[in-house]
A and B are shown apart, each in its own frame.
Chain A
């Protein structure tokens, strides 16, 4: 069964303390891996799509990377406004653009 596992469940950082979030997946024939940010009381907000091992994408303090079995979301010098839940999802190989989500990592960045 296709699965997405994120770790850690929760992460507390001091402002400026860089770290990485992990998303490991088991899916045959990856068609796309997605990262989203979700703030409390809001819908997930799209961040990145990665398609093949070795691919990297960046946006401000965030950088997403992809290997054949996992993806990392690196956060460089985080600020309190980066506090959110970060969700990883893979596109179901069965088609129809269905996404399978992980449970997310709750990130708290303290001043």
Chain B
């Protein structure tokens, strides 16, 4: 029954590895997002897709590559992981114009060692 689900919840990996985080929403929303929350709890947007089309691509290293196979799914692949990539990554979805705000997933805590 979960509205926005992301997997895995925890990810511990070594520097230099490649990893992926998956996100799915069952709300029928057209727009999905990836946000990064750093150790100071600041939430900062990384990417947004509207109906499978990339519409926001913030200043993010090109080691990060989002993919949206359909409007219910948005994945994030990270190449050559670095220590500074350690953070909590949140997926979210929204239906623009409804004023309901985003619905967030529960987050993926990525730790790079």
Contact = CB atoms under 8 A, between A and B. Distances in A.
Interface of A: 32, 34, 36, 41-46, 49, 51, 85, 87, 89, 96-99, 101, 103-104
A85 B107 contact: no
B40 to A, nearest CB: 6
Given A34-B101, A42-B106, A43-B106, A96 B43 contact: no
Given A34-B101, A42-B107, A104 B41 contact: yes
Contacts of A103: 40-42
A43 B99 contact: no
Determine chain B's interface SS by DSSP, over half rule: strand
A96 B48 contact: yes
A40 to B, nearest CB: 11
Contacts, number: 51
A89 B101 CA distance: 10
A99 B102 CA distance: 9
B51 interface: no
B86 to A, nearest CB: 16
A90 B56 CA distance: 16
A98 B92 CA distance: 11
Contacts of A49: 99-101
A98 B101 contact: no
A36 B101 contact: yes
6 contacts: A51-B99, A85-B41, A97-B48, A97-B94, A98-B56, A103-B42
A3 to B, nearest CB: 12
Q: Which 8 A-B pairs have the closest CB atoms?
A: A43-B104, A46-B101, A101-B43, A97-B96, A49-B99, A34-B101, A96-B55, A44-B104
B48 A43 contact: no
